Amino acid sequence: MTSTWVEPSNTATALLLLGRGSDPATERGVECPGDLPAPSDPDLVARAAAAKAALGTKVFVLGHHYQRDEVIQFADVTGDSFKLAREAAARPDAEYIVFCGVHFMAESADILTSDRQKVILPDLAAGCSMADMAVLSQVETAWDVLTELGIAADTVPVTYMNSSADIKGFVGRHGGVVCTSSNAKRALDWAFEQGQKVLFLPDQHLGRNTAVLEMGFSLDDCVLYDPHKPNGGLTPEQLRDAKMILWRGHCSVHGRFTLDSVNDVRERVPGVNVLVHPECRHEVVTAADQVGSTEYIIKTIEAAPAGSAWAVGTELNLVRRLALAHPDKQIMFLDRAVCYCSTMNRIDLPHLVWALEELVAGRVVNQITVDPDTAGHARAALDQMLALPGA
């Protein structure tokens, strides 16, 4: 599940940035066997519909809220990462689960589905920058640091759903739990019943916002562990005194929103309601009117009165979809700059058509599998989440 990083050449880096190369150490494969349909093909929608119809109940297509509209139209179910993984597990008769999302989501679906089901990711290059910020070897090194200080036994690891199967497996091996943005407080409440401190992976902002704004901790109770520095850049005293050891990771989309974004939209749109995701920075969350998961954001907008104005701090595909679905409300993106999730947008209609047509031809492509040992421990951490009160 891990790979060795090799310093790329300047030429290779330039080609990668131009979209004309690949990095096998970080990308999980970008080549498609066979011909990928051209994005300009006017028959793509018809081809996708025909392939899906030909597969019938053998295929179940999942679409994350942040996916392109051109892909979402073919999803049997839309939702956040955990909802979609559970939906996959609830469809045991579907031989193929086509997951239109990113790699860690497809891994979770593979963990939660039966061995006879095959989980397919239309583009293997659809990763997650946040999940990639916590590498197993780095987390194991951090745990060694805590062990040497004599505090590992009192520390419970908690990982956000947005993490690799490797990290979920690590958490399961060490008696921890997975959480989502909607149940993070319940997960942390449980963790603090088991131990005196928490190692929170990989999103620092969700961990900090939950601990400080929902659980009454202070910012001083939280320290930031940087895996690229010796001992995480922290002193033994800081690690011993901390209640929340936050991993230095973040969402590249939600992390771009700033306090200036909030202040700017309030000046431009009097009476606007600022609604943001808890992956946003602490100062953004504290300045917002409401904070919640992707599902919470959707439900809040749906229940809002006609004529109300909303500045939403989350991925642009979802914000645009909400604006189109609720023309009686003024819904806008929190930041002036356009901000798609670049890796989520790797799943496009040509890749979906290719994956479906290959299945029609009897060829399974881009199957996502998690090794049994990792899957077993990761499943334990996921099951612990499902056992939380109110889950």
**Does 277 belong to an annotated binding site?**
yes
Give the span between the Cα atoms of 370 and 17, in whole angstroms. 29
**Does 162 belong to an annotated binding site?**
yes
In 10 A of CB 81, how many CB atoms? 26
**Does 250 belong to an annotated binding site?**
no
The answer to whether the CB of 100 falls within 8 A of the CB of 67 is yes
**Does 279 belong to an annotated binding site?**
yes
* Residue in 249, 248, 255, 242 with CA at minimum distance from that of residue 212: 242
The answer to whether the CB of 162 falls within 8 A of the CB of 132 is no
List alpha helices for the chain, DSSP H: 10-17, 44-55, 69-72, 81-89, 103-112, 129-132, 136-148, 165-173, 184-194, 204-209, 215, 236-241, 259-268, 282-287, 294-303, 316-325, 349-360, 372-386
The answer to whether the CB of 74 falls within 8 A of the CB of 49 is yes
**Does 181 belong to an annotated binding site?**
yes
Give the span between the Cα atoms of 276 and 213, in whole angstroms. 14
Strand, coil or helix: 301: helix
- Specify the amino acid at residue 264: D
To which residue do tokens 């500045």 refer? 311
Give the span between the Cα atoms of 314 and 323, in whole angstroms. 13
**Does 161 belong to an annotated binding site?**
yes
**Does 179 belong to an annotated binding site?**
no
Strand, coil or helix: 200: strand
Count of residues making up the chain: 391
Query: Which residues belong to the annotated binding site?
Result: 64, 81, 128, 160-162, 181, 251, 277-279, 294, 341
Query: Which residues belong to the annotated binding site for [4Fe-4S] cluster?
Result: 128, 251, 341
Query: Which residues belong to the annotated binding site for iminosuccinate?
Result: 64, 81, 160-162, 181, 277-279, 294
